Every structure is written in structure tokens, then in C-alpha cells.
Amino acid sequence: MMAQTGIALEKVESMRWWLDKYCRNAGAIPKADALRQYHFQKLFFNERCFLEEKMKKITFSLAIDGTTDSLSRHILNTIIYPSTKDKSFLADVSFVQNENNQTIAHTLNSVASKYAKSWQQIDAIVTDNASKNIKAINNIKSTFNNKLIHIRCVSHILQLICEKIYNHTFFESLHKLIANFQHLMNRLIEKKMKYKEIIKENGLKIILMPESVLT
């Protein structure tokens, strides 16, 4: 039940005092480590088998994206989006030596072999605009399904546009102006109070700019 609702297994420990006080045989309830080691693996295996069989009866789309963990290892995460009203889910987490078009294509093919009877069940694949993704999808289309739709991630496209705009000289100068003004307001209390007085005298609303954040 905790796994299905997304409740962290560690919550069992925070409820331990309540269970010991109000429940009989509360000591028989496993701790979080035992749940993860002995029980959760079986639930995970059963759920994955259920999803694999279910996906083979419908069409779906894939989304793949790379990241790194705290040890700087390369990871490829693949999400399945069913064509039905079912929720999307994380289908695969693969650790790879290098994130390139070959490892991406291999990971997608591995996921497809588990969850689909053939590549004809897969409608589309969503990736960012990296050249390695484009090459990997083109290889898959030419080999397995020429009708496969490659969707470029809209969020990544917007990020690239914003980065291009932000790197413009005008916005760089504007950012420096805002940062210097905020530094002045935060460090010099007298000038900050004078700024508030001038704003009030002119009947304007006081708006102090929040700290600027570069993303």
C-alpha cells in the first residue's frame, strides 16, 4: 500500500511509537530496511511483470533522458506514456559507461523488447535536441519502424531559446544593474530606508526586487 501511494518506507519508523502504543503485536511489523530488502523487491518484480504484460496489449510512447548520480556515473532514464488513460511510469534506469547514440539506441531497444511485442506498438519517442539522440532515433527508425515519430522536448527548446536571449549583451548588462542595485539595498540600510521614503512620497507601491537567480 505504501509503495502504491508513493509513501516513503522510512515513514514506518516515524510511526513506530504510535504502532507500539495502539496496535497489538506491533513488533511484528518489519522495519524500513527489512521491507526494502525482503518484501519490496518481490512487489517490484510482480508490478514490473504486470506492466510488461499490460503494455504488450496497447500502444505507447517513450521518453528518454540522461543524467548523472552523486558518483558521476552516467544514467539513462526511460519513461513510458501509455496511449490509454493510465499514468506514465519509469520503465528503466540504465547505468552506462558513456552516453552516446549507441548506448541510447541499445537502452531504447531493451525497453521495447520488454514492454512491446514489436516496435510497431511504439508511436513516438521524446528526447532533447542533442545530436546523439537524433542519431540514435534515426538508427532505430531505419532499422525497426520507419513510421516512428521523434518528438523534440519543448522544455529543452525553450531553455535553449532563453539561454540565447539571456546571453545577449543587453540582458547581461541588465542583470548586472539589478544585482548591483540589490547589493546596495541589502548592505546599506540607510539608503534602503531613503528609497522607501522616496517611493512613499511619490505615491508609488514599494517593490523590493528579490535576489536574482541564474539557472
Locate 199 and state its grid cell.
Answer: 517611493
Which residue segments constitute the domains of the chain, with CATH numbers given? 2-52 (no CATH), 57-154 (3.30.420.10), 168-215 (no CATH)
Instruction: Spell out the residues 6+ positions from residue 190 whose beta carbon is closer than 8 angstroms to its own.
Output: none
Q: Look at the pTM and tell me if it is higher than 0.75.
A: no
3-state secondary structure of 135: helix
At residue 183, the pLDDT reads 73
At residue 6, the pLDDT reads 67
Q: Give the residue, 117 or 36, on which the prediction is more confident.
A: 117
Residues 78 and 140: their CA atoms lie apart, in Å, by 15
3-state secondary structure of 130: coil
Residues 1 and 11: their CA atoms lie apart, in Å, by 13
At residue 5, the pLDDT reads 63
Per-chain mean pLDDT for the chain: 83
Q: Give the residue, 7 or 124, on which the prediction is more confident.
A: 124
Locate 74 and state its grid cell.
Answer: 552516467
Interval 37-45 mean pLDDT: 79
Task: Kindly report, residue by residue over 155-182, the tens digit of the pLDDT.
Answer: 888 888 887 777 766 677 777 777 777 7
Task: Kindly report, residue by residue over 113-136, the tens digit of the pLDDT.
Answer: 999 999 999 999 999 988 999 999
Residue 95 region, left (φ>0) first, then alpha (ψ -120 to 50), else beta?
Answer: beta
At residue 215, the pLDDT reads 47
At residue 185, the pLDDT reads 67
Residues 92 and 66: their CA atoms lie apart, in Å, by 12
Residue 36 has pLDDT above 70, yes or no: yes
Under the banding of pLDDT at 50, 70 and 90, the label for residue 37 is confident
Tell me which residue of 149, 161, 142 sits closest to 101, measured CA to CA. 142
Query: Comparing 22-36, 70-84, 164-178, 201-215, which segment has the lowest mean pLDDT?
Result: 201-215
Q: How many CA atoms lie within 13 A of 168 on its CB side?
A: 9
3-state secondary structure of 79: strand
Give the rounded percent of residues in the chain with a pLDDT score beyond 70: 88
